[in-house]
């Protein structure tokens, strides 16, 4: 049972909103009354109540700019940006495909850079805002088979730390959320698929994100690590 939180009047942008953590978080925040801007490659533009769904390819800067502009046109301001868009392919470095490595860097790192860049400018203009970047324990720990994924997530951790020191004094909070393995569609293309029974449910991550958005004033949260009860996997 989620404690009732009134997010009416708050505008929250979520990338990667068509599945996994993004989809679960969008459903939870909608139930709490937030204005939502949901971006995904699978979305078609539609407005239903206080929810604006838009097509977004975070690897395409023009797509990110159009997504940003439509969000501001609809709601005038943005309180929170949650970067959930991500992709992972897992092989040893020597056996991996270069195009897979490039895709993980483009989506997980460069895509987050682009959304932080444009929405961060808006938050600086407002003098307030909160950016939440979904990193990974693979961005803090060396794991076999995670070369490209870890490179993108270690890079994302560095990007987030720089954003923290650049934006903190100007009223904009930036938080890394660092989960272990999550029970989601992320694993659908992985062969063999790992046992997901003891992984973190996506709804649990969504509730942690809601808590971050609704945190008490007077402090900024730089990092949150969320682990499955039995460890990384």
- Per the annotation, the verdict on 113 as an active-site residue is no
Distance of CA 111 to the CA centre of its chain: 10
Asked if 15 and 115 count as a contact pair (C-beta separation under 8 A), the reply is yes
Exposure string of 16-48, with b = 16+ CB inside 10 Å and e = fewer, is bbbbbbbbbbbebbbebebbbbbbbeebeeeee
Q: Which of 167, 132, 127, 163 is nearest to 13 (CA)?
A: 132
CA dist 78 and 15 (Å) reads 14
Asked if 181 and 232 count as a contact pair (C-beta separation under 8 A), the reply is yes
Backbone phi, then psi, for 23, in 5-degree steps? -65, -45
Asked if 175 and 224 count as a contact pair (C-beta separation under 8 A), the reply is yes
Q: Which of 4, 28, 11 is nearest to 209 (CA)?
A: 28
- Tell me which residues are annotated as active site: 149
């Amino acid at each position: 049972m989620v404690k009732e939180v009134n997010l009416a009047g708050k505008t929250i942008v979520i990338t990667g909103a068509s599945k996994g953590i993004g989809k679960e978080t969008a459903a939870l925040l909608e139930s709490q009354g937030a204005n939502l801007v949901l971006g995904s490659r699978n979305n078609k533009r539609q407005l239903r109540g206080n929810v604006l769904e838009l097509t977004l390819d975070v690897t395409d800067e023009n797509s990110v700019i159009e997504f940003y502009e439509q969000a501001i046109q609809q709601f005038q301001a943005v309180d929170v940006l949650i970067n959930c868009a991500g992709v992972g392919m897992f092989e040893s470095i020597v056996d991996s495909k270069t195009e897979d490595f490039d895709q993980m860097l483009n989506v997980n790192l460069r895509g987050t850079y682009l959304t932080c860049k444009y929405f961060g400018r808006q938050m600086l203009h407002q003098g307030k805002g909160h950016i939440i970047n979904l990193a990974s324990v693979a961005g803090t720990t060396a794991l076999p088979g995670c070369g490209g994924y870890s490179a993108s997530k270690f890079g994302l951790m560095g990007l987030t730390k720089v954003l923290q020191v650049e934006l903190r004094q100007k009223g904009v909070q930036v938080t890394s959320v660092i989960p272990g393995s999550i029970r989601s569609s992320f694993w659908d293309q992985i062969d063999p698929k790992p046992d997901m029974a003891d992984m973190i449910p996506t709804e649990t991550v969504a509730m942690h994100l809601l808590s971050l958005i609704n945190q008490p004033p007077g402090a900024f949260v730089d990092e949150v690590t969320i682990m499955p009860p039995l460890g990384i996997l």
